[in-house]
A = this chain, B = another copy of it.
Amino acid sequence: MDQIDAVFKSIDERQDEFIDLLRESVAIQSVSADPARRGDCVRMSEWARDQLKTLGVETSLWELGQQTLPSGEQLPLPPAVFGVYGRDKSKKTLLIYGHLDVQPAEKEDGWNTNPFELTEIDGKLFGRGSTDDKGPVIAWIAVLKVLQTLGIDLPINIKFVLECMEESSSEGLDKGLEDNIDKISDVTFSCISDNYWLGRNKPCLTYGLRGICYYFVEISCARQDLHSGINGGSVPEALNDLMWVMSQLVTVDGQILIPGIAELVAPLTKDEDEIYEKIDFCVDTFKNETGSHGLMSDNKKNLLMNRWRYPSLSLHGVEGAFSQPGAKTVIPAKVVGKFSLRIVPHMTPEATDKLVNSYLDSLWAKRKSPNTFKVTSGHGGMPWVADFRDANFSAGSRAIERVYGMTPDFTREGGSIPVTLTIQDLTKSPVMLLPIGASDDMAHSQNEKINRDNFVKGMKVLAAYLFELAAA
């Protein structure tokens, strides 16, 4: 029996102990969006710090400054936990990122169990944070515990960055990382477990995320709201202009009508093209889970590429128009339409902004409306894509093969996890997203869970990954 088999055996034997540790962390209501729970967030960071300290990890808490609430009130941000385990210059150094805060949850929202009391039903561990992201953080701690008990030396140095504001835009984290840039400059690889499998049965490794560009189209027709009785037929209406402008952005089947966007998109490589067919993804299951009436494509490959590697344009809403139930005969004076593009390599927010603005200007010129028109861009985010053939992904893939007996799928996601790019840029190390939970874990929703099997096998994958990465 080699070392790793001993580790797997010990994880199997001690799984209830680690589930109890997860239970302890879930009980701390670290809801970062709720100012009243800020004390719990601080307590959660300290709890994680103590867990690492007990294992002999050198720990520190990074104070991240103050948060300004919408009321203007100032509230201290919860500290991030920084940990250093091993300083052997002959070994590689892995940065592990995780977050300790959770989305809000109330039993009344439709939970079948108390969200802050981890409850096992049919092999599923229900509780807020069970999969997002306390489960993966506890899995790492459990792996260190097992190695220590078995007297196995870490094959690699580890640096932990655990924050407690991820669900609130990671406020303060960039500053924390920048202030401590010298402490993470020796990182060789980074690993983030904060997303999910594509489906319920097959593990995956995630190598890409889309970025985002958000736009506000403001059209104004009058000084104040008008009345359709008095003014209907006399004034060109802002909302009519806006509906028209927004109807010219994307076709019913998702083709973006903004000239130049398609030309920015990185061409499909042979390597990438080959992986789609092999991916375990069922179009019908996806359709049923979203409850959608139709899909842009019924072809698995096309649908995945639409979600991952091509830009998409979505309309979100209108501010300033009548939005309540019932009937109102207002002619809104000023309306703001909102839409966004999910962007992919080689698109940048700058290049996208330029094309979007120029297209919107040309639409407006064509409209010949006397109204005022203004476009503003929200904060843009770059897409991220890694080389899924690199040493990090190879190590992750071999670890998964060892635990699951199958090669993982290489996936992307359509959304963004901004910390991925932050960590890649600041550490200048290759980042891998290694999800542990399944697609039906309901992160952010009612009845969030992690399967006991995913949790246990996840610990094994993380342990194996450490050894594979060291050997790479």
Contact = CB atoms under 8 A, between A and B. Distances in A.
Interface string A330-368: 111100001010100000000000000000000000011
Given A229-B413, A229-B414, A296-B233, A239 B321 contact: no
Interface string A311-325: 111111111011111
A318 B312 contact: no
Contact of A237 (B314, B324, B369): B314
B252 A236 contact: yes
Contacts of A234: 286, 290, 292, 295-297, 303, 306-307, 312, 414
A254 interface: yes
Contacts of A433: none
Most buried by B among A239, A241, A372: A239
Nearest to A233: B312
A217 to B, nearest CB: 11
Interface string A96-116: 000000000000000000000
A342 B229 contact: yes
Given A227-B415, A329-B340, A415-B227, A292 B221 contact: yes
Contact of A246 (B243, B367, B368): B243
A316 B322 contact: yes
Contacts of A324: 319
Interface string A286-313: 1000111111110000010011001111
Interface string A416-432: 10000000000000000
A235 interface: yes
Nearest to A229: B415
A69 interface: no
Contacts of A303: 234
Interface residues of A, number: 81
A243 B247 contact: yes
Number of copies: 2
Nearest to A210: B229
A321 B317 contact: yes
A330 B316 CA distance: 6
A253 interface: yes
Contact of A229 (B222, B294, B328, B416): B416
A52 B16 CA distance: 87
Most buried by B among A220, A310, A368, A370: A370
Most buried by B among A226, A293, A327: A293
Interface string A173-193: 000000000000000000000
Given A317-B328, A330-B317, A332-B317, A370 B294 contact: yes
A267 interface: no
A328 B340 CA distance: 9
Interface string A224-256: 101111111111110111011011011011100
Contacts of A378: 327
Most buried by B among A223, A292, A306: A292
A371 interface: yes
A214 interface: yes
25 contacts: A210-B229, A214-B329, A221-B293, A227-B415, A229-B342, A229-B413, A231-B292, A232-B313, A234-B303, A236-B296, A237-B314, A239-B315, A239-B317, A240-B250, A241-B252, A243-B246, A244-B247, A315-B321, A316-B322, A316-B329, A317-B323, A319-B323, A319-B325, A323-B323, A327-B340
Interface of A: 210, 212, 214, 216, 220-224, 226-237, 239-241, 243-244, 246-247, 249-250, 252-254, 286, 290-297, 303, 306-307, 310-319, 321-325, 327-333, 338, 340, 342, 367-372, 378, 413-416
